[in-house]
């Protein structure tokens, strides 16, 4: 018996995956660590004088907070003999000291002191430093493969600039290490259809808008809350239709906003690659205060909604950890365009394969300080970015001048 496959040749040629992804699909970059701002710690976990070992972007890093309160991020290895500053290193005033021979290093990676040497320090060596900032209770670093300075800044979050919301920290914070590439996490912004099946929504969600521009992805999703029941704790006045808003900034920072018709909430997520296989998923959220509540601990419907959303987020982990990236997925017409648009947008954050500049060891010359270019968004709240990639090499900490020339 002959089996007939429905659909003509012309219809096959218009397959949505073929149309949007092309014959070869859209592959993940062979270099797995995209450009952008990434969360590397909760700021409250790094007190003045603390040193914290970290591993991100396939590299060993060290985080430290100086006596004056500034947080810095460096490659972990001392440029003297290669000791790991994150293992036994200590903060000495505004510097980090190596546990092996006591060499001290500034937050910009330059050598400040060789405690036993008549030369005082060496001005012609430095450890690679990462531009860093504190942003709404997170420590962010700028990662760019070739060491270029930041060209955009994280957004201001209006909800957190007033006292209308409960504090963002610490009541909802989570940190999970997940076996998944960060790009696959943010693909949720193009996938409202999984909500009904993974998160057990009673009604399907649909995309209302989807757009990308520069480093910013913005999407809105139509969702139905209440599941046809007369009332629930979340919808005490009956079912409602509302929009969920997704904003991603490069592949490292994400925001999800729920409307005031439910419980006004902003979720902040960070997808930071650990190595080629694992991603650290940082998460916290803040909701509108309950009427009359001036405390810092969420109560009532706000507390219930925050707890619910923490469990909802965890439901994605199982699939993320066990799925395979398909360069050319087979998609329905309703989803193909947005998936392809997201993947094409994501590709702009993977740098090419030009030679990596020398950011540790002996620099060829001192360079003038590079200023950040401001585009589209205002400078966020908190200390200024540590502009440490190409700052001038300063003098030693001791009174004795350095005898080692620059260059």
Q: List the pLDDT tens digit at each of the 407 positions of the chain.
A: 434 334 444 444 568 888 888 877 888 888 889 999 999 999 999 999 999 999 999 999 999 999 999 999 999 999 999 999 999 999 999 999 999 999 999 999 999 999 999 999 999 999 999 999 999 999 999 999 999 999 999 999 999 999 999 999 998 999 999 999 999 999 999 988 888 778 777 678 888 999 999 999 999 998 888 777 788 888 888 888 888 999 999 999 999 999 888 899 999 999 999 999 999 999 999 999 999 999 999 999 999 999 999 988 899 999 999 999 999 999 989 999 999 999 999 999 998 744 343 344 433 333 322 333 333 333 334 334 443 333 333 444 433 333 222 22
Same domain, 62 and 128: yes
CATH number at residue 89: 2.102.10.10
Residues 220 and 329 in one domain: yes
Residue at 14 is within a domain: no
Whole-number pLDDT of residue 277: 95
For position 275, which CATH number holds? 3.90.380.10
C-alpha–C-alpha distance, residues 77 and 79, integer Å: 6
Tokens of 307: 């707890």
Domain tally, the chain: 2
Cβ atoms of 279 and 208 closer than 8 Å: no
Output the pTM of the full model: 0.84
Are 134 and 220 in the same domain?
Answer: no
Same domain, 327 and 365: no
Residues 262 and 305 in one domain: yes
Task: Return the pLDDT at 404.
Answer: 27
Nearest by Cα to 111 from 86, 130, 131, 129: 129
Which residues form the domain of 47? 34-146+358-407
Q: In this structure, is residue 207 part of a structural domain? A: yes
Same structural domain, 188 and 75: no
Q: What is the pLDDT of residue 192?
A: 86
Predicted confidence at residue 143, as pLDDT, reads 97
Domain-embedded: residue 28: no
- Among 302, 324, 347, identify where a domain stops: 347
Predicted local confidence at residue 13, as pLDDT: 55
19 lies in some domain: no
Residue at 20 is within a domain: no
Q: Are residues 216 and 341 in the same domain?
A: yes
What contacts 190, CB < 8 A, 6 or more positions away?
207, 210, 219, 335, 338, 339, 341, 342
In this structure, are 119 and 85 located in the same domain? yes
Cα distance from N-terminal residue to C-terminal residue, the chain:
81
**Among residues 290, 233, 225, 293, which one has the least CA distance to residue 259?**
225
Q: Please, are residues 26 and 344 in contact by the beta-carbon 8 Å criterion?
A: yes
- The verdict on residue 309 lying in a domain is yes
Within this chain, do residues 129 and 225 fall inside the same structural domain, yes or no? no
**Pair 239, 367 in one domain:** no
pLDDT for 372 equals 32
Residues 55 and 198 in one domain: no
Last residue of a domain, one of 297, 315, 347: 347
Do 166 and 123 lie in a common domain?
Answer: no
**pLDDT reported for residue 353:** 42
Q: Identify the pLDDT of residue 358.
A: 37
């Amino acid at each position: 018996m002959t089996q007939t496959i429905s659909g003509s040749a012309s219809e096959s040629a218009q397959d949505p995956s073929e149309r949007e992804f092309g014959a070869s699909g859209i592959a993940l970059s062979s270099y797995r660590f995209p450009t952008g701002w990434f969360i590397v710690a909760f700021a409250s976990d790094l007190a003045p004088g603390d040193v914290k070992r970290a591993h991100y972007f396939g590299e060993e890093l060290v985080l430290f907070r100086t006596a004056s309160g500034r947080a810095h991020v460096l490659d972990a290895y001392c440029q003297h003999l290669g000791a790991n500053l994150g293992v036994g290193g200590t903060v000495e005033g505004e510097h980090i000291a190596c546990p092996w021979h006591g060499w001290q290093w500034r937050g910009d990676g330059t050598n400040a002191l060789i405690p036993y040497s008549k030369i005082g320090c060496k001005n012609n060596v430095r450890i690679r430093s990462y531009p860093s900032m504190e942003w709404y209770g997170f420590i962010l670093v700028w990662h760019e493969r070739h060491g270029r300075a930041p060209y955009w800044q994280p957004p201001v979050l209006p909800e957190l600039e007033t006292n209308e919301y409960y504090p963002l920290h610490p009541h909802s914070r989570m940190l999970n290490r997940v076996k998944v590439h960060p790009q696959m996490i943010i693909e949720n912004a193009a996938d409202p259809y999984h909500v009904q099946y993974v998160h057990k929504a009673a009604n399907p969600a649909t995309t209302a808008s989807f757009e990308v521009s520069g480093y910013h992805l913005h999407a809105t999703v139509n969702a139905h809350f209440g599941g046809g029941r007369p009332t629930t704790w979340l919808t005490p006045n009956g079912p409602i239709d509302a929009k969920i808003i997704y904003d991603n900034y490069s592949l490292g920072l994400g925001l999800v906003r729920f409307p005031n018709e439910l419980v006004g909430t902003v979720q902040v997520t960070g997808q930071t690659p650990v190595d080629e296989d694992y991603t650290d998923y940082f998460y916290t959220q803040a909701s509108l205060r309950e009427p009359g509540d001036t405390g810092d601990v969420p109560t009532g419907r706000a507390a219930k909604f925050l707890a619910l959303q923490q469990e909802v987020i965890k439901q994605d982990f199982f699939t993320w950890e066990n799925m395979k990236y398909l360069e050319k997925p087979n998609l329905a017409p309703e989803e193909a365009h947005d998936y392809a648009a997201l993947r094409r947008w994501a590709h702009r954050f993977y740098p090419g394969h030009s030679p990596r500049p020398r950011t540790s060891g002996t620099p060829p010359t001192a360079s003038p300080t590079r200023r950040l270019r401001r585009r589209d968004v205002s400078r966020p709240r908190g200390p200024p970015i540590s502009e440490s990639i190409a700052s001038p090499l300063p003098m030693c900490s001791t009174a004795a001048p350095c005898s080692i020339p620059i260059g």
